[in-house]
Amino acid sequence: MSKLAWWQRGVIYQVYPRSFQDKNGDGIGDLAGITARLEYLATLGVDAVWISPVYPSPMVDFGYDVADYCAIAPVFGTLGDFDRLVAHAHELGLKVLLDFVPNHSSDKHPWFTESRSSRDNAKRDWYLWRDPAPDGGPPNNWLSRMGGSAWEWDALTGQYYYHAFLREQPDLNWRNADVRKEMDDVLRFWLDRGVDGFRVDVLWLLIKDALFRDNPPNPEFKAGEPDHHRQLQTYTEDQPEVHDIVRSMRATLDEYGERVLVGEIYLPVPQLVSYYGPNGDGANMPFNFQLIGAPWNAAEIARIVSDYDHALPLHAWPNWVLGNHDNPRVATRIGARQARVAAMLLLTLRGTPTLYYGDEIGMTNGVIPPDRVQDPAELRQPGIGQGRDPERTPMQWDGSPKAGFSSGVPWLPVSGGDSVNVIDQDRATSSMLTFYKRLLALRRSEPALVEGAIERVMAGANVLTYERHVGSERLFVALNMAGTDASIEIPQGTVVLSAMEGHEGKQIAGTTLLLAGDEGVVIRVSPES
């Protein structure tokens, strides 16, 4: 495994900073809180912490509206707090990834203030400005991902500006060389402070059609979907020129040694894998989100795993994700018992896994009363299920009313739930947290689970099976993705991990095994099998 980079050997853990740990009692998580919990992450067995945005921001979209790319929002702390976090993480052997938000800034960013001050300002072309259509309306039909037109009228200069998200988040013009230079300097600012890589927000959206052509209608649009799904995003995403930007970012990171560039990209696999670059000079890992929205059955997961593995270029390293700050939690999507099976899947597939905070204790979506809704996606498009607050509720450290998250009033309600907290689960041998620790320890100790190939991916009776092997070492994985027992064919060997307590060490001598409902096993295959 020494030939692999740290990000290929390791496991990434995403922290949503507002919700992880509040140190100063204002009800909002902060950098000092994350620092105080780094020992927990090291003990859990992960290798890197990815921190969602902590830049100065009006917080219209909770940090994804950046007002200064080279500073820390006071609500999260100071640059000194950030430096202490990085230093302590490195002392513990943890890497630190920072969220980078290059597609758009806040409308309060000094760059945009200058850009909108006059048509002849030097920074006018740093954003996307267009004259009205002949009827005085928006320049074209492009829609915002937060609802309504993506064009906002500016009376002062008599033009519209483009925003893929909220009107308070104007899109930067990545065709402008000065913008590229400035953003490269931002990367270097944080790399110089010791960060080990970046997760790049909406990487596939950075370039828009140079001719600003109308998007065509989406013939498969269904009522109740987000408004922008009415159109095919033909001219507003995945433009050919975006790959030049990705290569440039990667080149900057490569100057600093073993750093990692992870891209947020929601695209079908054939387009997704192009972001690795034709020569492996693109993103180290374009995020693979297929497990988040997949129908939870063995046949479909087997197809996804096989198709993805076959689609990867030879130079590409795979990755898998079960959840994040934009999607319902896995335990809510498939239930608590299958969440264990999903954890086994995530941590035994070929490639780098990314965990979302709280999934290791089985946190479910929180219930957010209407008067406590914070997410602008829900506030501006009520009733379409776009609200992301339920998966962003405070981390549950203990069983107290505030879950050990804060001494103040948490910014979102604590989700609650019997024993769904770190303290209680750390004491229980059968808990989800204990299971995650065993899974992570197994992955760390077994080269086949890190560098090994994946073969014989099959599905039958709603049981997913596959093998991981390197050299003469073979591991057989069987995951029952239903609640009913199933008999499966297996090789001879020894159970090294089971989703059910007490099965480890069991010798498998026969050719079949009755796998209980919601059970998963990892078997070390005997050499003679």
Catalytic residues: 201, 255
Secondary structure of residue 252 in the 3-state scheme: helix
DSSP 514: E
Compute the distance between CA of residue 405 and CA of residue 156 in angstroms, rounded to an integer.
45
38 within 8 A of 94, measured Cβ to Cβ: yes
> DSSP string of 53-101?
--S----TTTTSS-S-TTS--TTT--HHHHHHHHHHHHHTT-EEEEEE-
290 and 304 Cβ atoms separated by less than 8 Å: yes
Tokens representing 503 are 């099965």
CA distance 73 to 15: 16
- Residue 92 CA to residue 221 CA, distance in Å, equals 49
Q: Please answer whether residues 99 and 262 qualify as being in contact, where contact means their C-beta atoms are separated by less than 8 angstroms.
A: no
Cβ-based neighbour number of residue 508 at 10 Å: 20
Instruction: Give residue 385's identity as a one-letter amino acid code.
Output: G
Q: Which residues contact 466 (CB under 8 A, 6 or more apart)?
A: 302, 305, 454, 455, 456, 457, 458, 476, 477
Residues 326, 365 contacting (CB under 8 angstroms): no
Nearest residue to 276 (alpha-carbon basis) of 238, 307, 239, 247: 247
SS3 for 103-165 is: CECCCCCHHHHHHCCCCCCCCHHHECEECCCCCCCCCCCCECCCCCECEEEECCCCEEEECCC
In terms of Cα–Cα distance, which of 503, 440, 467, 504 is closest to 46? 440
Give me the long-range contacts of 68-75 (CB less than 8 A, separation at least 24): 68/109, 69/101, 69/105, 69/183, 69/186, 69/189, 70/186, 70/189, 70/190, 72/31, 75/26, 75/28, 75/30
| Pairing of β 159-162 and β 151-154 | antiparallel
